[in-house]
Amino acid sequence: MCRSTVSAQAGAMNDYIFDTGSELGHHHLDHLGRLLDTPTTWRLERLGLTPDQRCLELGAGSGSIANWLAARTREVVAVDIDTTQLYDVAPGVHVIKHDLRDGLPVDGPFDLIHARLLLLHLPEREQILQRLVTALAPGGHLILGDITDRPLELLAVPEPADRDLWEKIQHLSHHVVSPARGVSWTWARETAERMTAAGLVDVDVMDYSQTAAGGTDGCLLHRNLNQQAEPLLLAAGATADELARYRELMLDPRFRAWFYQLLYTSARKPG
Ligand SMILES: C[S@@+](CC[C@H](N)C(=O)[O-])C[C@H]1O[C@@H](n2cnc3c(N)ncnc32)[C@H](O)[C@@H]1O
């Protein structure tokens, strides 16, 4: 494995809530990989990967999917606004530090363009989608994975009062803090329609969800995001005691809830 940095470009001020380059950002990406790389690679495999393909991996995070693609295709361009965690990439992966709100940093055409948990964060998602469609080769696939606003139903709590705490933190996270930073919780369900309107065909959606128990990756991710967003949650009305109890709960195996619903929407450019 080697590090391969193509270019570094200054982006506009980033509204992305989390700090990819931090220690917590590192663990955040590790949890995502352990939770989602299996369904992601299952879905990508079914698009029919071939050794001559050129791929674009956006919001590449830790590079786990870029590396997986590089083992199966000719070239992968991995783009992220913060490339700190892209330090262990496979030969064939070209890392570019770039803010995607400023456009694409490389010219197409690409046979495959993939982004997981990126466009829901970026208010410019509609323009970015248009640019991705333009950058696709005829016959190329665009595949976007984003989570929905399906409520994270509670299944078991250690104490009855934990139920209200869970509901309060979910409310502040999903209805106060994240929308104020440009997150769209409806985008995942709108993606198929937007791809069709952009002229793509063979539009298909895969729904993936699972439960999470305290101490496992789903809850450790909730805990991690809660820590990263602490100043925003306090400003939104959470108390320090509530955040402390929430983080205890996320370690407690007696806690169980449904984790996020991930929708993977894919489509092909005609030709
Ligand atoms: C939720 S993480 C997902 C990472 C990876 N795709 C995954 O699913 O494991 C979002 C990623 O998008 C990157 N990102 C956020 N805003 C961005 C922007 N404006 N341009 C490029 N990348 C961005 C973050 O640095 C982070 O790596």
pLDDT in tens, 57-79: 999 999 999 999 999 999 999 99
Pairing of strands 201-208, 154-156: unpaired
Tens digit of each residue's pLDDT (9 = 90 or more) over 241-251:
999 999 999 99
Written as six digits, the tokens of 242 are 């509530």
Pairing of strands 5-8, 93-97: parallel
Going from the Cα of 117 to the center of ligand 1, the distance in angstroms, rounded, reads 7
**8 Å CB contact between 256 and 156:** yes
Tens digit of each residue's pLDDT (9 = 90 or more) over 8-37:
333 333 489 999 999 999 999 999 999 999
117 CB less than 6 Å from ligand 1? Answer: yes
Residue 125: alpha-carbon gap to chain centroid: 13
Atom 8, ligand 1: which residue's CA is nearest?
Answer: 116
**8 Å CB contact between 109 and 137:** yes
Residue 81: alpha-carbon gap to chain centroid: 13
Tell me the pLDDT band of 44, cut-offs 50, 70 and 90: very high
* pLDDT > 90: percent of the chain: 94
Segment 112-130 shows an average pLDDT of 98
Tens digit of each residue's pLDDT (9 = 90 or more) over 144-189:
999 999 999 999 999 999 999 999 999 999 999 999 999 999 999 9
At residue 44's C-alpha, the angle toward residues 8 and 35, to 5°, is 80
Report the atom number in ligand 1 closest to the C-alpha of 101: 19
Q: Which residues lie across from 201 on neighbouring strands?
A: 268
40 CB less than 6 Å from ligand 1? Answer: no
Domains of the chain, start order: 5-268 (3.40.50.150)
What DSSP element (H or E) covers 256? strand 256-258
Tens digit of each residue's pLDDT (9 = 90 or more) over 218-243:
999 999 999 999 999 999 999 999 99
